[in-house]
Structure 1
């Protein structure tokens, strides 16, 4: 039976919406908890009460965000069994392992530590509470690590092999899965982006207080920490993003070509297209402004290695489909006769390409009946949405350099103790609050949209991973998720705005002070 494209499209849409929404909370948790650890370290070293109150106030906002992240993350995982049942069956032994470890080790560790963080101020010593805070920061990163190990395997499936007896992918080397170079590059890049977002969150809200003359000493100290941590993190994002780009060029060549709208292979070193208008119909890029050599250096770390273009990769895919068809045919023979030596030999020689033969099942029941035109159609389907990737990547990079400039300027103003002198700067810092979220979501669009049509790169096409559902059933679940997540979004915004407006003074963590600086008491202790 040919797969229903509406069911596939709706299932993809549902998972995309829930994943993008969940990722609104993840990077803020990753970044804000480390800022709490830094602030509490200063409190323990200096004994100044102001730093403790800073940790407690920002901890309230961290707690709200953490709770929303947990709620959206758990419901998102339900979809693997609900909308992606065959995906879960086919690769569950591999993909489920890091997810299970994340739940058993990192998630429960976070849940325990966050309880001690909030309830332990009067039950632990300063040093003991500081250890809890640092362990909480490490636990959040550990949680992200296992999630990104699972996601990295989807991008670059190593350490696993298809078992014809079970008809599933099975782990052959857990070490290869864990130390997957794509997963490691994604992890450091993602957590650094979270640090940027957490820093911007503190910087922007503190700027809002300074614009209103509230909690001035509190806000200045918070901005100083955010500017320092944010500058280091923003610089790290660029460096680690470059490493992530190199990993893509090594292991996901079609994604790299689509990001660059590189329709044909260029002589090395390839140029970087700073601006252009990709035209899918003519497979060309109009009004292209290129910087020589840059893409070659980023993508290959050399001056003599080419970056394959889309057209060349499509031709390579046609060859892999031919090879995969041999493996597919041998697999069917072995299902009837497990001892067929010839079929075993053929499968062993071509099993790495069997996923490419499965691309044809999007268009026909039996891939073995494919014509050259069918193979061409399947090969063309491996081209992702080039304009979306092209522009999403460039806006993400542009925002990355903006963050470096803003945090560098903030760091300079903090070093001069002149954070509250320029209202235009404070307004700019406030208005910049949503931008790290935009950059983070663009990054996930590039990562996930760029590997289509694969659920598992080169192994399992997305269209084959869906459950046996009707479009009506998927519409119902999609509507349910939209309603549930919308309700959570409203609650989250209301709580965040409410407690941010209250501020540390409104929560009893900071004394109410007059706007006239000469009338303010000393708040150091």
Structure 2
């Protein structure tokens, strides 16, 4: 039997490192594209103000990129260290996109970032602009590969369990690559990153305007962030709808938990705007419903039912019993590799093998499970309803608030009217909003998949390494201290850059270091030859 504390500590450690890493990734995505857009305007107009904008926001991008790479390294190693059985069981599928993502992040992206920073005096303006766009594209493609890997965990297509090797193996790499869940997650995540980058630029620009510093640079940055942010935030809504539709097709239990939909509703299902889900009574108190909305979002029709949690639990019981047939056949194959009857039975029922494995948290041999244990295993497929229900709604509320902020900002920008000071104050105060939203989105996606580490294939509690509780406690404490230190460095460098302003840091990034104001040996990596 697996130690539940070991499993929870392994999950906690990965959640801490993943959520910390995800503080940097979306901002990298958004700033890379904004910087490329600014440099494009500079190349087209040759106006110094746009070059200064490119360098200033590019410097902030570089600080964030460095922290993103540093925090991503530990995640790569955690799969082998904390999740050894997972790596053994699905490494043939998961390893390929993860390796490609690592190569792109640590080689392609790093090379292009280096050319961006040190190529101003060595490359022609058009060539440097191309480098900046390739840097932005490389950053996005890096995200694509990790989301392909994660999307496969949500919807394991193009792979099959091999009873001879006792592992999942690739049967169709293109199915893995073009997994609809992965593609929906990619475009949704990228749009959220663009929104974060836009809010970041908008907030800092608003602060400069309020302080009456670097006003010309801030006004242009505010304008481009308003337009780009409005397009990106509207895209998040549209692409989020696509993600919701993908859940209807591939992760019905997650969607039912997000909506606290305990019973199957007649079509078209309503959307619960507010409520207090209660797992004990299996009901949602004080619910406020919007008729038809969930049916339109989840099924894009008016005549398709959406299954509720209780019906999905009943389906899970059936799959557990079918999975027991597959488990028994697999045991027979292990005893006699030539047993063709067992192989035929296994091929017929292997899609439900993962459901039988859910019983291993209650009994050593799933075939000895009684009806009560099967019932408990079936209900274990329901993730935490209250955290998912509330996290999703806060995320959506923040998303629409950011749309409103971008729309008002763009309205004043397009009218070339003097924006009220309250708008700039609001823009600055909105700075934390996209981070809260993306972290809640991560929670909905990953916590909502539980109890599966691979949806319907491998339960999370079976995927861990054989580590001790003390090992995990020590490493959690170590990562907390390390990442806490990195967070201080990140915030310090960002705040110092903003306070010093573009005039001091764009041609001398060493000014960010305490007590310094000139670069090493007088070299200025951002310097541009006189034109």
Give TM-score, length-normalised by structure 1. Answer: 0.96
Aligned partner of 2:275 in structure 1 is 276
CA contact (8 A) 2:29 2:193 kept: yes
Q: 1:159 to 1:505 in 2, by over 3 A?
A: same
CA distance in 1, matches of 2:325, 2:438: 41
Cα distance, 1:508 vs. partner?
5.8
Give the match's secondary structure for 2:275. Answer: strand
What pairs with 1:302-381 in structure 2 (closer than 5 Å)? 302-381=301-380
CA distance in 1, matches of 2:483, 2:504: 29
The superposition leaves residues 182-217 of structure 1 with CA deviations (integer Å, 9 ceiling, x where unpaired) of 000000000000000000000000101011100000
Aligned partner of 1:9 in structure 2 is 8
CA distance in 2, matches of 1:140, 1:500: 24
CA distance in 1, matches of 2:423, 2:231: 20
CA distance in 2, matches of 1:162, 1:270: 36
Q: Given the alignment of the two structures, is residue 467 of structure 1 paired with residue 465 of structure 2, yes or no? A: yes
Aligned partner of 1:49 in structure 2 is 48
Q: Given the alignment of the two structures, is residue 291 of structure 1 paired with residue 299 of structure 2, yes or no? A: no
Give the match's secondary structure for 2:87. Answer: helix
The superposition leaves residues 237-259 of structure 1 with CA deviations (integer Å, 9 ceiling, x where unpaired) of 00000000000111000000000
CA contact (8 A) 2:320 2:374 kept: yes
Q: Given the alignment of the two structures, is residue 263 of structure 1 paired with residue 262 of structure 2, yes or no? A: yes
Cα distance, 1:507 vs. partner?
2.1
What pairs with 1:486-525 in structure 2 (closer than 5 Å)? 486-507=484-505
Aligned partner of 1:514 in structure 2 is none
CA distance in 2, matches of 1:402, 1:424: 15
CA distance in 1, matches of 2:29, 2:378: 39
CA distance in 1, matches of 2:337, 2:429: 65
What pairs with 1:390-469 in structure 2 (closer than 5 Å)? 390-418=389-417, 421-469=419-467
CA distance in 1, matches of 2:506, 2:128: 21
Cα distance, 1:509 vs. partner?
5.7
Aligned partner of 2:233 in structure 1 is 234
CA distance in 1, matches of 2:487, 2:373: 44
Cα distance, 1:119 vs. partner?
0.3
Give the match's secondary structure for 2:306. Answer: coil
The superposition leaves residues 97-131 of structure 1 with CA deviations (integer Å, 9 ceiling, x where unpaired) of 10111122454110110000000001000100000
Aligned partner of 2:125 in structure 1 is 126
CA RMSD of aligned residues (A): 1.1
Give the match's secondary structure for 1:306. Answer: coil
The superposition leaves residues 117-163 of structure 1 with CA deviations (integer Å, 9 ceiling, x where unpaired) of 00000100010000000000100000000000000000000000001
CA distance in 2, matches of 1:388, 1:250: 22
Give the match's secondary structure for 1:365. Answer: coil
CA distance in 2, matches of 1:405, 1:474: 44
Aligned partner of 1:183 in structure 2 is 182
Give the match's secondary structure for 1:275. Answer: strand
CA distance in 1, matches of 2:54, 2:207: 18
Q: How many residues align?
A: 509
Aligned partner of 2:515 in structure 1 is none
CA distance in 1, matches of 2:67, 2:424: 28
CA contact (8 A) 1:317 1:356 kept: yes
CA distance in 1, matches of 2:90, 2:417: 55
CA distance in 2, matches of 1:501, 1:25: 21
CA distance in 1, matches of 2:265, 2:209: 52
Give the match's secondary structure for 1:302. Answer: coil
CA distance in 2, matches of 1:432, 1:302: 36
CA contact (8 A) 1:22 1:72 kept: yes
CA distance in 2, matches of 1:71, 1:485: 10
CA contact (8 A) 1:106 1:142 kept: no
CA distance in 1, matches of 2:273, 2:190: 27
CA contact (8 A) 1:324 1:354 kept: yes
Cα distance, 1:474 vs. partner?
1.0
Cα distance, 1:89 vs. partner?
0.5
Give TM-score, length-normalised by structure 2. Answer: 0.95
Q: Given the alignment of the two structures, is residue 480 of structure 1 paired with residue 478 of structure 2, yes or no? A: yes
